[in-house]
Amino acid sequence: METFTSWPSWAHAEAHLGRALPPSTVGDLGRAVAFAAREHGAQQRPTGRPYVEHLLEALEVAVAGAGLSERDVLVATVLHDVLEDTPCTEEELAREFGPRVAETVRWVTRPPGAAKADHLAALVRAPRQAVLVKLSDRASNVQELQRMPWRFQRRYYAETVAYVMPLAGIHPWFAEWYARWRDRWRHVERWPA
């Protein structure tokens, strides 16, 4: 199963993106990474690593893995957590990156007070662009599941199988990647609840 951890900083990502995408898209992605880094500030991943690494991993999944190139999808991939995890507003996102990016990010943002399962289940009605962002986001989160405590691993595995994997049929690369991921992690199904 392929993992996507070779772009830990914008400098690493930019060189690869320059070979795969138009300069204008690379420029917009650089602005999005800088914006996300400012908004997320000192936030860290559960592993203690800087949060921006997750955003770059999701971008690497989208570009180097799935071969996505649509500007709005890629920018939304970088910004997918700013509405949920920072004070940033949808209006601010729309001003900075356009209404399509802001709408896509809103789709993948869990509303305050909403149960996670309900939010994930609602993604079956999401536009294709938002589903591609969620698939890239979750691939980043689950590709190295072994780094998390076992209870987290079990919960995240179950959520991914129940709610995210059914969305993967939208794109052949994601369908294949998630199928390989499930084969690798199927042993988690035997763990006690």
Range of the domain at 154: 10-190
What is the reported pLDDT for 53? 94
What is the reported pLDDT for 145? 86
Is 1 within the bounds of a domain?
Answer: no
Contact 181, 1 (CB under 8 A): yes
Is 138 within the bounds of a domain?
Answer: yes
Is 123 within the bounds of a domain?
Answer: yes
The residue count of the chain comes to: 193
Is 121 within the bounds of a domain?
Answer: yes
What is the reported pLDDT for 47? 75
Q: What is the pLDDT of residues 44-95, one digit of tens each?
A: 887 778 899 999 999 999 999 999 999 999 999 999 999 999 999 999 999 9
Is 64 within the bounds of a domain?
Answer: yes
For residue 122, what is the DSSP state? H
If you search the block for the tokens 């599941």, which residue do you land on? 145
Is 112 within the bounds of a domain?
Answer: yes
Contact 169, 123 (CB under 8 A): no
Number of independent structural domains in the chain: 1
Contact 56, 62 (CB under 8 A): no
Tell me how far apart the alpha carbons of residues 50 and 112 are, in angstroms, rounded to a whole number. 24
Is 5 within the bounds of a domain?
Answer: no
Buried b (16+ CB within 10 A) or exposed e, 66-99: bebeebbbbbbbbbbbbbeebebebeebbeebbe
What is the reported pLDDT for 118? 95
User: Taking the model in full, what pTM does it have?
Assistant: 0.95
Give me the active site residues, please.
84-85
Is 2 within the bounds of a domain?
Answer: no
Tell me how far apart the alpha carbons of residues 140 and 58 are, in angstroms, rounded to a whole number. 5
What are the residue ranges in the chain where pLDDT is below 50?
Answer: none
CATH number at residue 128: 1.10.3210.10
What is the reported pLDDT for 184? 94
Tell me how far apart the alpha carbons of residues 77 and 17 are, in angstroms, rounded to a whole number. 14
Contact 57, 5 (CB under 8 A): yes
If you count DSSP H runs as helices and E runs as strands, how many of each does the chain have, helices first? 11, 0
Rounded to the nearest angstrom, the gap between the alpha carbon of residue 189 and the centroid of all alpha carbons in its chain is 24
